[in-house]
């Protein structure tokens, strides 16, 4: 593994951690058990890659060829579940039955509080943006490395790698898909995929991936900060 591959691998792990956390947190809010938390965490982090590999005819999918991503997602999901379980237990110590019920509801809806919650949200927002950017350009690069050069295909698999896991997460949790409603999420992935696809032959593979990921991250963070949304009928 050379230096550039190591950088990409590290960023993929960061994205996996962020996506697994978002899936696990949604599972907790939906009152799922430990197995449900693990499933949603894993699906969110590797689901987009599985869809990509099936579209490209790359079987078995990479999550089985390189299970490190699945293992990391499982570990993150279990640790997050245990953390919230211990918080619930701590709050319930010495509380009445009615207070325990309310405490459990608070844990699900607001697992973290105060400065910790604010710091967690900022870190997860950054990690999520980095993960979306990295997974988008990795999707483009995977298709390209398998010999595909059709621009629309490269764009599609790049975007589906970035947003597919979150889409599956929301469908399994019976939520309105986040990518269809919030803060220029899929559009940020499309913008980065466009940059990566059309600049590859001009500036080189690694440079195009870096530029594409940077575009996704910048657009995503700006959309979150300024609360950009596409027009809708009210």
Whether residue 89 has pLDDT greater than 70: yes
Displacement of CA 190 from its chain's centroid (Å): 15
In contact, 215 and 192? CB cutoff 8 Å: yes
Q: What pLDDT, on the 0 to 100 scale, is given for residue 10? A: 84
Nearest Cα residue to 24 out of 109, 90, 108, 81: 81
Cβ within 8 Å of residue 232, ≥6 positions away: none
Q: What pLDDT, on the 0 to 100 scale, is given for residue 126? A: 80
Tell which wins on pLDDT, 213 or 113: 213
Q: What percent of the chain has pLDDT over 70?
A: 86
Whether residue 71 has pLDDT greater than 90: yes
Q: What pLDDT, on the 0 to 100 scale, is given for residue 193? A: 96
Q: What pLDDT, on the 0 to 100 scale, is given for residue 125? A: 77
Average pLDDT of the chain is: 84
Displacement of CA 54 from its chain's centroid (Å): 19
Q: What pLDDT, on the 0 to 100 scale, is given for residue 25? A: 87
Q: Which residue has the tokens 């197995």?
A: 35
> Mapped to the 3 state alphabet, what secondary structure does the chain carry?
CCHHHHHHHHHHHHHHHHHHHHHHHHHHHCCCCHHHHHHHHHHHHHHHHHHHHHHHCCCCCHHHHCCHHHHHHHHHHHHHHHHHHHHHHHHHCCCCHHHHHHHHHHHHHCCCCHHHHHHHHHHHHHHHHHHHHHHHHHHHHHHHHCCCCCHHHHHHHHHHHHHHHHHHHHHHCCCCCHHHCCCCHHHHHHHHHHHHHHHHHHHCHHHHHHHHHHHHHHHHHHHHHHCCCCCCCC
Q: What pLDDT, on the 0 to 100 scale, is given for residue 205? A: 79
Q: What pLDDT, on the 0 to 100 scale, is given for residue 94? A: 57
In contact, 216 and 129? CB cutoff 8 Å: yes
Radius of gyration from C-alpha coordinates of the chain: 19
Q: What pLDDT, on the 0 to 100 scale, is given for residue 114? A: 57
Q: What pLDDT, on the 0 to 100 scale, is given for residue 192? A: 95
Rounded Cα–Cα distance for residues 104 and 101 (Å): 5
In contact, 42 and 25? CB cutoff 8 Å: no
């Amino acid at each position: 593994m050379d230096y550039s591959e190591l950088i990409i691998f590290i960023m993929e792990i960061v994205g996996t951690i962020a996506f697994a956390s978002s899936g696990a947190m949604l599972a907790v809010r939906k009152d799922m058990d430990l197995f449900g938390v693990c499933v949603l965490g894993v699906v969110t982090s590797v689901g987009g890659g599985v869809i990509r590999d099936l579209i490209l005819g790359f079987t078995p999918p990479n999550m089985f060829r390189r299970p490190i991503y699945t293992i990391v997602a499982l570990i993150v999901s279990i640790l997050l579940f245990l953390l919230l379980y211990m918080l619930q237990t701590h709050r319930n110590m010495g509380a009445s039955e009615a207070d325990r019920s309310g405490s459990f509801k608070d844990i699900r809806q607001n697992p973290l509080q105060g400065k910790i919650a604010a710091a967690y949200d900022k870190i997860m927002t950054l990690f999520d943006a980095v993960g979306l950017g990295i997974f988008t350009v990795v999707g483009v690069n995977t298709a390209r490395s398998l010999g595909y050069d059709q621009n629309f295909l490269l764009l599609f698999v790049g975007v589906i790698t970035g947003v597919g896991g979150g889409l599956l997460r929301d469908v399994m949790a019976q939520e309105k898909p986040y990518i269809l409603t919030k803060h220029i999420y899929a559009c940020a992935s499309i913008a980065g995929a466009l940059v990566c696809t059309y600049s590859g032959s001009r500036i080189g593979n690694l440079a195009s991936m870096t530029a594409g990921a940077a575009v996704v991250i910048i657009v995503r963070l700006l959309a979150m900060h300024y609360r950009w949304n596409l027009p809708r009928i009210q």
